[in-house]
Amino acid sequence: MGQESSQPVQVDDIDNSSYTASTEHKPSVADVLRAKTYLQSKLPPELVDGIIDDASYWPHSSVNFERPFTLPFFKDGRMVGDAMYMRTLPLGIRGTEGDFSFTEQDFMNGPSWSKKLRLGGPDDLSWSTPSLSYPCRKIEFQLWSHDQGWGGEHPGTYNASYTWFDAGLDKLPTPTFASDVVEWPLYLLRKEDVDDAEPFRIQRDATIPLIPLETALQKNVAAKRQTTVHTIFWHFLDSFDKDSAEAKEAANMGRGPETLDGNFVRKLEVGDCITLWVRARFPGWQNHVQKAQITVYWAV
């Protein structure tokens, strides 16, 4: 199975609400458990997981964050060209299932800044902790953004575009055992770092690229002031051939060809969080982000 393909869409040309809600049925963990119980009564157990995967019948966790944001900006007397925009909830942990939507105002001394989610707890008829060490099956990114709207060597294309997004991986404390419960602060959805005095410690790769690498999630269209919606799918069965037409098309559409290999999806463990990073390089280049959504699907 290859990656699902999509074309960038200019916001002016669409009903924007269609990108924040979908009529597609998205099963809950309880739905998947019922389906597996039924199939296991008819089929050998070793066939059931394959059928569920073939049908893409997975639960999900989605975080939608509307947070107008421009990079670079000045902080403590220096120009900042890299910033974390958002973080997902921990993968496959009880309490993270379903759709979560926030605005910047929710975190500006609002209730979401101090609110905590109770994550974890024992399995029952409505929940089962993933049995696989690497349960992630698909990630869907949706990005609403544009650059400064002028300049560049190839305006209207993704060539030599120096505003872009990267996906990262953070490991934060989550329940050690299925019966454990952790109070997970919602501010971690948007706070890049945590203070030394806080109990949460972030483990991440600290590499900061100078220019968009072949692992880049998505570039902005160069010299285009209108907001464009980019939808990107990563699947656990994706594979990569650097000389393939698919890889060349991905590069032409502003995506790093190496993101076609599926490795990021396959290496995610229970409790991992995905981070969305905003980048801007060189004088005059600006990355304007309106909002973003990340939806993660996993096998039960």
What digits encode the pLDDT tens for the residues 261-295?
Answer: 999 999 999 999 999 999 999 999 999 999 999 99
* Position 176 pLDDT exceeds 70: no
Question: What is each CA distance from 86 to 33, 89, 188, 209, in whole angstroms?
Answer: 30, 10, 8, 19
Cα 291 from Cα 102, distance rounded (Å)? 10
Task: Render pLDDT for 223-255 as a digit per residue (tens, 0 to 9).
Answer: 999 999 999 999 999 998 888 999 999 999 999
pLDDT band at 196 (very low <50, low <70, confident <90, very high): low
- Give buried/exposed letters for 136-156 (b at 16+ CB in 10 A, else e): bbbbbbbbbbbbbeeebeebe
Total-model pTM: 0.90
**Residue 174, Ramachandran bin (φ over 0: left; ψ between -120 and 50: alpha; else beta):** beta
**pLDDT attached to residue 243:** 84
Average pLDDT over residues 159-168: 97
**pLDDT attached to residue 177:** 64
Mean pLDDT of the chain: 89
Q: Is residue 215 a contact partner of residue 251, using CB atoms and an 8 Å limit?
A: no
Cα 251 from Cα 245, distance rounded (Å)? 10
Tell me the percentage of the chain whose pLDDT exceeds 90: 67
Higher pLDDT, 13 or 81: 81
Higher pLDDT, 194 or 130: 130
- DSSP per-residue string spanning the chain: --------EEGGGS-GGGGT---S----HHHHHHHHHHHHTTS-HHHHHHHHHHTT---EEEEEEEEEEEESEEETTEEE-EEEEEEPPPTT-TT--EEEEEEHHHHSSSHHHH-EEEEE---BTTB---SSSS-EEEEEEEEEEE--SS--SSTTSSTT--EEEEEEEEE----SSTT-EEEEEGGGGT-SS--TTSS---B------SS--TT-SEEPPTT--S-EEEEEEEETT----TTSHHHHHHHHTT--GGGGG-HHHHT--TTEEEEEEEEE-STT--EEEEEEEEEEEE--
* Position 10 pLDDT exceeds 80: no
